[in-house]
C-alpha cells in the first residue's frame, strides 16, 4: 500500500504513488495500461500516519458534540467509575463485591459493543478480534473473582478450592 501525497491545491486528493514511477509513466501506462500500472509496490520511505483500528471511526456523525461521538467509550468508563465509586465509598457490607462486579460488567459491555457496532470511536484500540478477546477475557475473570471472593462467596467452584488447598498445604 503506497502512502498518499497531497494534491498541489492542498485538498489531500493526491495520488497514492511516490517516486520515479509516479512522475514518469511507463511505456505500458502510456499505451493504455492506466494509472494503476504506473504505481510502485515499494513502501513509502517515511511513514507519516498510522492507520486507525478497524471500527475506530466516529460512533456518531462528525457534527455531533464530542461526548455523543464517543458514547461507547463513555459508557464503559462510566460503568467502571460507578463500580470504583461503590468500592471506594463502602456503603454496605457487600459493596466490594458489587463494585468489582460492575467493573467486570463494564469490560464485558465493552466487548459486546466492540462486537455489535461497526464504529466505536476510541473504544477501538487494536483489531476488533483482539479487543473482543481482551475485554471479554478480562471482564469474565474479574466477574468470576468477584463472585468467588471470601468470606461467603456467591459462587463456589470445587476444583478451584482443591487446587488452592493443594498449593497452600
Is it the case that residue 20 has pLDDT exceeding 50?
A: no
pLDDT, one tens digit per residue, over 61-103 is 878 888 888 999 999 999 999 999 999 999 999 999 999 999 9
**CA–CA separation, 127 vs 87, rounded Å?**
32
Is it the case that residue 121 has pLDDT exceeding 50?
A: yes
The predicted pLDDT at position 31 comes to 53
Specify the residue for cell string 474479574: 142
Mean pLDDT of 29-48: 66
Give the list of residues 6+ apart from residue 57 with CB closer than 8 angstroms, or none.
Answer: 119, 121
**C-alpha distances in Å from residue 10, one per residue of 14, 44, 58:** 9, 20, 24
Mean pLDDT of 40-57: 78
Amino acid at each position: 500500500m503506497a502512502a498518499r501525497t497531497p494534491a498541489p491545491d492542498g485538498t489531500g486528493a493526491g495520488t497514492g504513488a511516490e517516486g520515479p514511477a509516479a512522475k514518469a509513466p511507463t511505456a505500458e501506462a502510456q499505451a493504455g495500461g492506466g494509472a494503476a500500472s504506473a504505481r510502485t509496490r515499494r513502501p513509502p520511505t517515511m511513514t507519516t500516519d498510522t492507520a486507525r483500528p478497524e471500527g475506530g471511526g466516529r460512533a456518531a456523525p462528525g457534527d455531533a458534540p464530542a461526548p455523543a461521538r464517543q458514547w461507547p467509550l463513555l459508557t464503559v468508563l462510566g460503568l467502571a467509575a460507578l463500580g470504583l465509586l461503590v468500592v471506594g465509598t463502602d456503603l454496605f457490607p457487600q459493596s466490594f463485591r458489587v463494585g468489582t462486579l460492575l467493573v467486570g460488567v463494564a469490560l464485558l459491555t465493552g466487548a459486546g459493543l466492540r462486537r455489535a457496532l461497526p464504529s466505536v470511536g476510541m473504544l477501538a484500540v487494536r483489531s476488533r478480534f483482539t479487543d473482543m478477546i481482551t475485554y471479554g477475557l478480562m471482564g469474565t475473570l474479574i466477574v468470576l473473582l468477584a463472585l468467588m471472593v471470601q468470606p461467603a462467596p456467591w459462587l463456589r467452584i470445587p476444583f478451584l478450592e482443591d487446587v488452592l488447598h493443594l498449593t497452600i498445604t
